[in-house]
Amino acid sequence: MEERQRVRRPGGRSARVAAEVHQAVTELVGERGYGAFSVRDVAARAGVADSSIYRRWGNLENLLADVVLTRLNARSPMPDTGSLAGDLRTYAANVAREITGPDGPVLLHLAIALSKTGQQGVRAGEGLRAERTRQLQSMLDRASERGEDAPDAFAVLDHVLAPMYIRVLFGMGPLTPEYIDGLVDRLLSVPGEGCRARRA
């Protein structure tokens, strides 16, 4: 019985409902902004019952986190080009394309909005970041296994993702390939712990 189903069937009705609900959320965030709509609004827009959303996602925050996670991660698989510089450049270009695409600013605002919605939102946001960090770390681990000197995932967040996010969020011009590659090159040019360690 549909009410008790716990395992999702890929490609079936369950997947169609998820796609419709995700699209409804993206549209509502874009039109009204975060915090200005309810599960009921999402259900009405997607043409599904409120109960379908609660059954599957539990609450609005989990649904929003799932939308952001799916759009900012799963749609952009981690590259495997054979070199760390190649992987990071491709990864950064993929992220840039996502956040400068039609839904990108909405998704970024949503990721940020989740962090200020109390415990449920914070937990959902943490889940989102943990998943992204895990995917990124697997790419960095491959580089280490090849003998390359890889930065940690937080350095990638701070020095490749954060500058791109902030420039998009502040509406500061396009993210050119030169700019994106420059962020990656700079990250990889920092020697170990940086010049403090080398001076010591």
Angstrom distance (rounded) from CA 115 to CA 99: 18
Stretch near its own copies under the rule CB under 8 A, chosen from 4-12, 20-28, 70-78, 103-111: 103-111
Q: How far apart are CA 160 and CA 165, in angstroms?
A: 9
Burial zone of 44 (CB within 10 Å; 0-12 exposed, 13-18 middle, 19+ buried):
middle
Query: Whose Cβ is closer to its own copies: residue 19's or residue 190's?
Result: 190
149 counts as binding its own copies under rule CB under 8 A: no
* Residue count of the chain: 200
Tokens of 80: 């495997």
Q: Is 102 in the site for its own copies (CB under 8 A)?
A: no
Tokens for 175, please give them.
């993210």
Amino acid at 58: G
Q: Which one of the spans 42-50, 93-101, 134-142, 166-174 is the region binding its own copies (CB under 8 A)?
A: 166-174
Per rule CB under 8 A, is residue 199 in the interface with its own copies? yes
The answer to whether 196 contacts its own copies (rule: CB under 8 A) is yes
- Given the structure tokens 């986190």, which residue do they identify? 65
Question: Which region among 65-73, 96-104, 139-147, 180-188 touches its own copies (by CB under 8 A)?
Answer: 180-188
Structure tokens belonging to residue 140: 């960095």
Q: Does residue 127 bind its own copies (CB under 8 A)?
A: no
13 belongs to the binding site for its own copies (CB under 8 A): no
Window 34-53: residues binding its own copies (CB under 8 A)? 34-36
15 binds its own copies (CB under 8 A): no
